[in-house]
A and B are shown apart, each in its own frame.
Chain A
């Protein structure tokens, strides 16, 4: 009888210790903010210039990472590609790309914030130009 009571208490304790709360359910896209400070829209760069990429991402809950890419709008060639897989509610973006292009190109910088693994994300694009 004594051992039955001990095991009953153990099961009850295990049930309570197994409950796991989480902060929220569902994705709220209105609360995911992606801000790009640099470069600015329609900015022009020359060959050899350092293109500063700065910005921020924040959300009301945990994010799973972000990606940064610079792509030629006409050819879809990717000149810069960075993936960061980190868990936090906010990220500060501070990186750079050196313009090595020899021909004129219309480029787009895209920063994508990933809220989870179900494809919930938000992004920001900035168009700029490379003129050697």
Chain B
């Protein structure tokens, strides 16, 4: 409970630092890699995930006497991911996404597809005081998001796609993660907090720092070779404004914001095979000044433990 309080305090601190404003080029919301409820700490893991999110934008035109600018965005990601146990306490995570982004504004569709930014995260388990009634696991780690995805600068107008709808960011970013799980008999909960500290890319675009915090309750059903973990929880996402030009300090106050979701889903385990499906239903959002509305998100995936 103390850890939950501290993580919420971090999030509240972040929330007080943001100035929200009207929307400009409203795009799909960014996403950062979180770990969430991890399966089987004692095993290596390899898997593939499918993630889908969509949003709609409706905001006043930049130009006088013109109708509102209305657009719809969708982000589809197919991601390879894996976990490798380096030792009893150290483990390494890696993620490689392939993204397909689509932005439609009524007159045209702009698409961006390709491999996105890969991520690697190294975690260490932190010893906690012994507790006979509960099993507890605290992981803390850091990692890098690599600029493996393509980023097309704004100057190349014939290929221009909104920055947050592009396959990659063009920047090396730093990831910080804390993951805490408690299990008592068949019940348990997980708290995961991830912070992305962004840097400026070679075109002077800098995405805003981002933070995700999720809290998930779960229940274990089944025996050793066949298990099901229904789960539900909340997810909070926060991002600062982007800089259109970081060197000149051109702050894009029409980006960034806060969103929260109610999450529900389940994980299934059959021997060494796992399956995961979760929906994230928007509960509250104030992104890009309220002009961007995020729809229900969906993720699913299979993985193998070895």
Contact = CB atoms under 8 A, between A and B. Distances in A.
A18 B250 contact: no
Interface string B272-305: 0000000000000000000000000000000000
B248 A23 contact: yes
Interface residues of B, number: 36
Contacts of B62: 64-65, 83, 85, 114, 117
Contact of A18 (B209, B245, B254): B209
Interface string A25-37: 0000000000000
Contact of B195 (A14, A23, A89): A14
A7 B9 CA distance: 9
Given A14-B10, A14-B13, A22 B251 contact: yes
A50 to B, nearest CB: 22
A25 to B, nearest CB: 11
B250 A87 contact: yes
A87 B252 contact: yes
Size category of the binding interface on chain A: 20 to 34
Interface string B249-277: 11111100000000000000000000000
B66 A61 contact: no
Contacts of A54: none
Contacts of A62: 244-245, 248, 250
Contacts of B6: 3, 7
Nearest to B249: A23
Given A14-B195, A114-B63, A117-B60, A20 B14 contact: no
Contacts of B197: 17
Nearest to A69: B63
A110 B278 CA distance: 53
Chain A residues touching B, majority SS:
mixed
B22 interface: yes
A15 B2 CA distance: 21
Contacts of B195: 14
A15 B17 contact: yes
A18 B208 CA distance: 9
Contacts of B24: 64, 117
Interface of B: 2-3, 6, 9-10, 13-14, 17-18, 22, 24-25, 60, 62-64, 66, 154, 157, 195, 197, 208-209, 211, 240-241, 243-245, 248-254
Closest 3 CB pairs of A and B: A18-B17, A22-B251, A23-B249
18 contacts: A10-B10, A11-B9, A18-B14, A18-B17, A18-B209, A19-B17, A20-B243, A21-B249, A21-B251, A23-B248, A64-B62, A83-B66, A85-B62, A87-B154, A87-B252, A89-B248, A112-B64, A117-B24
